[in-house]
Structure formats: C-alpha cells, structure tokens
Structure 1
Amino acid sequence: MSTPLLRVSGLKKHFPSGRRGATPVKAVDDVSFDIEEGQTMGLVGESGCGKSTTGRSVLRLIEPTAGKIEFMGQELTTLGAAPLRAMRRNMQMVFQDPFASLNPRMTIGQVLEEPLIVHRLADRTSRKRKVAETLEVVGLNAGYADRYPHEFSGGQRQRVGIARAIITRPKLVVADEAVSALDVSIQAQILNLLQDLQKELGLTYLFVSHDLAVIRHVSDRIGVMYLGRMVESGSCENVYRSPKHPYTQALLSAIPREHPDQVRERIVLQGSIPNPAAPPSGCHFHPRCPSCMDLCKTQAPPAIAVSAGEYVTCHLYR
C-alpha cells in the first residue's frame, strides 16, 4: 500500500484564553487523517469547528500544539526555519478573501513573481515568462500582470490567488473557503478551474468549506468536524449515502432537495454550538445529540472503524 502524500496524526492546536489560569481553547483537538497523492480531502463543519485552523496548522502557518504532520515523507513539525521554507515550495494555500490576501501596493506580476524569487526558481526573464504562462493557465490575460488587485473582480482576484499558489508547482494546496466569498455562478467557474488544474498538474487538495454541496462536488474523501474534533471521515460517496454520526446526519438532512417530490426528513438539532473555551464533557456533541446516552456525557468516544477507510467517533458503534 502506498504512503499518503500527507499524514496528519493527533493534531492539536490550543489557544490561550487570555485570562490567567483559564483553560486554553482547544480549536483543534486530536485530529488525524491521510490524503493520497492526487486526491482531494474535504473538511466540513459549522463555523468555529476548527477546520480552517486545521488547514493552517498543516502548513505551519499556525504552529501546532501537538501532533505529527508527515508530508512527502518528512515530519514537518520538527523542521527548522530554513528546511521549512524550502518545503513550502511544495505546499501552498488559497485563502478565503482574495482581496485581503493580495498586497494592494504590488502589481499582479509582482505578486506572482514573489514566490519564484523567494525560492530562487528562475532568473528575471524566466520569471516574467512564468508569470505570463500561469496567468493564462488560470484563465486571465497575460497583459494583466501590470494591473493592481483593486482593478479586478472578486472572481478574477481569486484566480490570481490560485495562480500564486500553483506557480511554484506544489504537490499540496490547502484551499481555505476558496469560493465562499464569491457569487454562485463564479463559484462554479473557480471549482471547475481547481479540478482542471488538479488533473493537469497532479495537485493534491485539502479543501476547507462549510458548504456541503461544494465539498461533495470536489472531494474524494470527507472529514466532518465538530468543536475541534473529527467526528466522521470516509469516502465522499459513503458519507453522503450512509452517514453514521448523528451530526453528519443532521448536516446532510439540511441540504435542499434536488426535486420537489423528493422526501427527506429534516433533523433539527436542539440548542446552539457550545463555547469552545468550555466544551461539554465526554462527547462534545452530546448536548445536541438526539441519540445521547449516559456514557456520552462522561467519556469521549474513540475513532471507530466501521468499514475499510471509514471512521466514526461515536459510542453508538462500539
């Protein structure tokens, strides 16, 4: 069996609460998953569940509190500054807000040249040519290199963000809510672009989104997160066809029906998401779970393999 391109084991990220002696906020709490080369892993969950923090921690844009991140056979958490910078050529990120992530004082050409300069990948002439080629690849005119970010629409700026991510020809791209700030019609164009680039360049994606329809469209595997923990993971087909965790079932029941005659029972969760600074004991989901047992209130469930490659963190399957 081949070694995954990315293997995340027991990843944790805790933030200080700001009060002396207070319990830290466990934004990511013991998350594990693998991504095979050329595949897309989708992370989905409500706002505040820790999915974006997971993506940034994988790239060490945020330093993990604990856990292991193995990428291309190397342990990232132990790399020093210089080796980590060299490794960043192979792992890039597309951010949610394409305007905030682009320097307004730099032209698009300068924005795209910067990664090439940092990693010393080409001389000046070659960099100009590479910038022009990459703009064409993402569907923009090469002549746009002399323009500034404010001269573009949101969709065009996101294409620039994607161009910046792929110009070093990375192996892994983390897309953090890459289409959530765009109109629906533009979302479809960007998603199709990302899928075309994956085929052409052999990219591997960690795709973070709260939109279940988007995740289903782009993902090979799905991880469902709730309050910092991975509650279910598996192939896209199996998770959508037969969700195991009560939280996953509730999320999928909220998807609009494809046909007006289609019947789907809506699962309405009671209460609201608990405070991550003071999460419930045991299973974090138990205050809202329709299948809650006494055991759920006191013991955190382990990840249980329900089939090959399918895991659920729930006492119902022990």
Structure 2
Amino acid sequence: MKLFISGHTGMVGGALVRRFQKVPGVTLVTRTRQELNLADQAAVAAFYAAEKPDAAIIAAGKVGGIHANNTYPAEFIYENLAIATHCIHSAWTSGVKRLLFLGSSCIYPKLAPQPMHEDCLLSSALEPTNAAYAIAKIAGVKMAEYYRKQYGVVFHSAMPTNLYGPGDNYHPQNSHVMPALIRRFHEAKVAGLSEVKAWGTGQPRREFMHVDDLADACAHLMQLAEPPDLVNVGFGSDITIRELVELVAAVVDYVGEIVWDESKPDGSPRKLLDTSRLNALGWRPHIQLKDGLEHTYRAFLAELEANRLRG
C-alpha cells in the first residue's frame, strides 16, 4: 500500500510516520510545506495525479491554543478549509480509495453532554474562542462522509482529544496548554524563578492522550473494512487544569509557587470524549499520562539541545 501522510513534520504526522514505518508492505509518501503547499488547489491536484497513492491520512492543519485561535480566526478557517477540501477532493479525483481525515475534539459544542458522543456533532453552539478552526474541521468531516456516501470510497474521520508528545509546538503564545506549560516551567526552573503564572481558574477539565496512542488508533482504524464515518479517539478519562499544571511542574521538577491569573479565559468547562465506539472496535490507549509526560519532557530537552524545538 502506498500511503500519503500529510503534515508529517508536525507532532501528529511524525507519530503516524513512526507507526506506519513498522507496517510491512506500506510505502510512505510525504511532502514538506516547502515541497507542497496544501492550500494550493492546483499543486495538490498535481501531486495526487503524479504519486497516485492508494490511501491517505490528512494530519496537516493550522493549529494552536486559545490565544492563537482567538487572535487569528481568519487564518485558521481559511487554511484548514483549504487543506481539507483540496486533500479530500483531489484524493477522490486521483482514485484514492481509502482516506482518514483527522479533526479535533473542539468540533463538538461548547456545552455538549459529557462525555461527548459522536452524535452530538452540530447539536448546539461551538466554543467561540476556537469556532473558526472547528468549522473548518467539521467541513472536512462532512466532506469525507458525503464523498463516501455518493462515490463509495472509504473516506472516514477520527476525532482526537488533546494530544501531546515528541515534536509538539512550544511557541510561548500560540501553543496548546501542555507544551506551553512544559516550556514555561522548564524556563522558570532554569532561570530560578520563584513563581509561575497559570491561566484561568484551573477548574476546567481536559482529557490528554499521547500522540503515539493516536497513531496506533489510526493504524487500527485503517485496517477495518467498514469503519464508522466518525469515531472519537481519546484516553477515556480527564483531569482538571489545576491537576495538570501541578503534574507538569512535578515532572519538570519546578519547585516554585504557581499563581493563577483568573482574568484569563478558561475556555470550555469540560471536554471529555465518549470513546465507546472505538473501544467496541477493539482499540484502547496504552500510555498513562505521567509516563507520557515524562517521555515528552525528555523529548523536549533533546529537541532543545539539538536546536530542533518547534515554536
């Protein structure tokens, strides 16, 4: 099988490459952003026509935390819509029979019933701070679903929970909560700072899964003859942001005070995925949060030392 993995230089794409390199009979096709601009429709169509992959996993996208989503909504909706539409449509026109589109748990409504089942999609309003990104991802999910319905191709989607792991984006303002905390506590430890500020109240609950677990779930889904149109991929339990902050501080070995800035937004009160559909298909995660965090911090230090730290 010739498999195209888009976004292979990112955290998710990198994990997918590591996972599928282990699968006998799989030949990977990848392109950097410099080699292929996925927002360029003609370039994407030409790539698919020339390479003719048998299958594709669409892991590319413009991603970021609350600050980035709130500050650059136009860029988030445009770039993610372009990537989804170009990659899915050109896959169909070039004869790709199998495609997995990766979304995000933020596609679900802000006040969705917890844990969030796949059926709650589009049932009520989105979280305003990341609505632009969510709308683009929902469009990709529905596009895959409708191409499957109309053309008979096995195009389907997976919705990961909050991910972390090697190769994450550690930008000080625009990263997600986990890498932002790792960097903040590491730099505070190195500088000998007596306190670190954390955003919000610490009360919201979040679910976190190591990116290598996601890659393994994707490999499992790609083996199924008739996968669901949409399936959640999560850890199955969550913790408060306060608990997360304290855990990251402990893993990094930061011993100063944590000060909470309650003027900053909390975002959604809770985001826990209902993973019963995926569990029924025979897959469960394996990497516990503390173990995954320790692994991720070691990777952070190695990336920092090698001057390969993203962000």
What interval of TM-score do these two structures reach, taking the shorter chain for normalisation? Answer: under 0.3
TM-score by length of 1: 0.27
More helix by share: 2
